Amino acid sequence: MKINRDGDNQQQANKFSKFVSDILLMPIWVKQLLFVYLRYRLEEELTPQYLSSYETEDIFQLHKSILTYKGKKELEIKTMGLSPSHYTFLKDSLDGLTIAELTIRNNWNLFEVSNVFIDCLERELIAMPQSLKMVELVRYMSGRTRIGEYFLRTGQISMEQLETVLDQQEKIKKATNEQVGSATVLVNMGFVPESEIKAVLRYKEESRKRFSMDGIIGLAADLNSGEDGASLKLTNERLLKENKILKLQLRKLLNLSE
């Protein structure tokens, strides 16, 4: 995770601030039009149910991290030997920047910020946010937790249900020598709606993309994203394949007829 504090990146941050300000100053009929277009696209990508379940405090990009006394001292004396990214994050947070603002200012992506955020949180350098849902989504985006654990931690499934999912995965692997993802099992056992699974997976994938305001607003994929940064199309194809395998195996395990 590189630190980018040159004039170009500060200019990018200024452009973004102006862009948001310009939208807010637009006539209400224009803002309504933009709202309709964006709502349609977001509901298509993240589903209405997923969007309606989030309050403003649950949105990571709007969050302003508050440094603890320990965090302020560490920023001052730097005894932990943290990475430059950590100290930049702490400094920008102390200056009152939101996650979105410091992400754009440093030319980071949300995945990179998620990792630093969780690390600072676990080291007690920043205060625990009020929104548990936000923290758990950030943990998942950063790769600290798997999708089953995410739904457990957010109270959407029980420990018994998660254990059932893991048990079914093991049975299917032994019977077919195929590794079926927990997301597929969660859906097929009716524990979590498919739309919710796809929304969370989409959010994690999009977190690895960078935002640029260089003339035209654009999204550039992180070339170092690795396996987790694979396209959503491939993710959906894998889920469909696993779905077929799981349905066939569940019929065998439960002795169900066609």
Six-digit token pair at 247?
């349905």
Among residues 73, 67, 68, the alpha carbon closest in space to that of 89 is found at 67
Q: Could you tell me if 16 and 213 are in contact, meaning their C-beta atoms sit under 8 angstroms apart?
A: yes
Same structural domain for residues 102 and 201?
A: no
Looking at residue 151, its amino acid is F
Q: Could you tell me if 4 and 102 are in contact, meaning their C-beta atoms sit under 8 angstroms apart?
A: no
Q: Is the pLDDT of residue 240 over 80?
A: no
Mark which of 88, 120, 145 sits at the end of a domain: 145
pLDDT in tens, 122-146: 999 999 999 999 999 999 999 999 9
Separation of alpha carbons 247 and 160, rounded Å: 21
- The pTM assigned to this predicted structure is 0.75
Same structural domain for residues 37 and 165?
A: no
Same structural domain for residues 141 and 233?
A: no
| Residue 104: exposure state from Cβ atoms within 10 A (0-12, 13-18, ≥19) | buried
Mark which of 97, 125, 145 sits at the end of a domain: 145
Number of C-beta neighbours around residue 49 at 10 A: 12
Same structural domain for residues 187 and 217?
A: yes
Q: For residue 204, give its domain range.
A: 151-258
pLDDT given at position 241 = 60
Q: Could you tell me if 78 and 132 are in contact, meaning their C-beta atoms sit under 8 angstroms apart?
A: no
Mapping DSSP to helix (H, G, I), strand (E, B) and coil, where does residue 235 land? helix
pLDDT in tens, 170-179: 988 888 888 8
Structural domains in the chain (count)? 2
